[in-house]
Amino acid sequence: MAPALVETPQEPAVNYTKSGTGQYKEAYIGGPKVFSQEAELHGTGKQPPAKYPKYLPTWDATKKYPPLELFDHYDHGRDADPSFPNLLKDAKVVNLTANIGAEVHGVQLSKLTDAGKDELALLVAQKKVVAFRDQDFADIPIEDALKIGGYFGRHHIHPTSGGPAGYPEVHLVHRGADDTTARDFFEERTNSVTWHSDVTYEKQPPGTTFLYLLDGPGAGGDTLFANQAVAYQRLSPEFRKRLHGLQAVHSGVEQADNARNRGGIVRREPIQSIHPLVRTHPVTGEKALYVNPQFTRRIVGYKKEESDFLLNFLYDHIAKGQDFQARVKWAAGTVVVWDNRVTIHSALLDWDDGARRHLARITPQAERPTETPFEG
C-alpha cells in the first residue's frame, strides 16, 4: 500500500524569481552562436571530426511547443524482482562508494526485456546512479534509444537545448571542437560546479534518466552525483521535522533568459512550479531533499532573508557532503542511468584544450513530487 501523501496547497500566482540564492549558472552548452558545423563535421587542425554526426545539435527557432499537460505516471520499479535475475544475472557490479553509485559490466541495456527494465528502475532507485560500461546505445538508431527510454515515462522535450535533427526528445550536452570559452568562464567564476536535478521547474520532473557519451576529452568532464536521501538522513530529527511541510518555488525563467541571451531558442515558455522541500520516492519510500541551487528560488511563506538562509544552509550541506557523493568518469560506450528524484549532479568543466564534449540525454518524466508525513 502506498504511503499517505501530505496535501499540497494550491500554488499562488506570485513571481518568486527575484532571489539572490541559487542563481542560474550555465557553463557547459555553447549554443548556436558558437556552434561550427564545419569544425564538427570535418574537424580542425587540433580536433578530429565528431564521432556521431547524427547527434550534432540543431536549433529550430520556428518550432514552438505548448505547455506540458499533467499525466499519470507509473513507476515500473514497483514490478521489479528485487533479486534482479533479468538484469544482473551475468553482470559484474562494483559499488562506487558505500552509499551512492555502482559500475556495471556484462549487461547490454539495448537488449533488456521489460522485466529487465523493471529491475533497472529499481536498481537505479536503490543505487541512485549506475554507470553501465561497453554499451551500444550511441550506435543503435536514435528512435530505438528513445523507445527504451520511453518505457520509463513520457519523454521530456527540453525548452532551450539543441537536439539531433528530427529528435527534439533528445537533450544534447555539446561543447564543440576548439571551444575554449572555459577560460572566459573562469574569468568570472572560481569553479564550474553547478549542482542540480534536471528541469525541476516542471510540474512533473524526470525520474529514471539516461545520459550516454558520444565524444569526450581524454581526461576531465567527469560528473558528480550526490545522494539526496542520505543528505536528508544526516540532518537531525528536529531539523528534518522542521523541513516537512515546507515548499519551494522552482523556476525555469533564468534558463530561458540565458538561452535568449546567447542566441539560442526557447521552444516552450518558461514556468515556475512549487514542490516540497522533502519528497518521497514512490517505490523505495525513501525521503530525500528536493532543492538545488540551479532552479530552486525561494521557500513559500518565508521572507527573502529567511528563505536564503535556509536554502544556503542546505546547499552548503549537500556540497560539502563528499561522504554521500560519487564521481563518475566517462569512457567510450558508457551509459549513466540515475534517479533524478533522489539525486543532484554537476558536470565539471576542468579541461580547456578545446577537446569536444558531446553527450545525449533521454529524460523520461515521472510523478509530481509529493511528501509523506514525517516519521522521525
pLDDT one digit per residue (tens) for the chain, 376 residues: 445 555 554 454 444 344 444 556 665 567 888 899 999 999 999 999 999 999 999 999 899 999 999 999 999 999 999 999 999 999 999 999 999 999 999 999 999 999 999 999 999 999 999 999 999 999 999 999 999 999 999 999 999 999 999 999 999 999 999 987 777 778 888 888 999 999 999 999 999 999 999 999 999 999 999 999 999 999 999 999 999 999 999 999 999 999 998 889 999 999 999 999 999 999 999 999 999 999 999 999 999 999 999 999 999 999 999 999 999 999 999 999 999 999 999 999 998 889 999 999 999 999 999 999 998 7
Q: Which residue ranges form the domains of the chain, and what is each CATH number?
A: 69-362 (3.60.130.10)
pLDDT at 262: 84
pLDDT at 29: 62
pLDDT at 18: 42
Spatial separation of the C-alpha atoms in residues 301 and 10, rounded to whole Å: 13
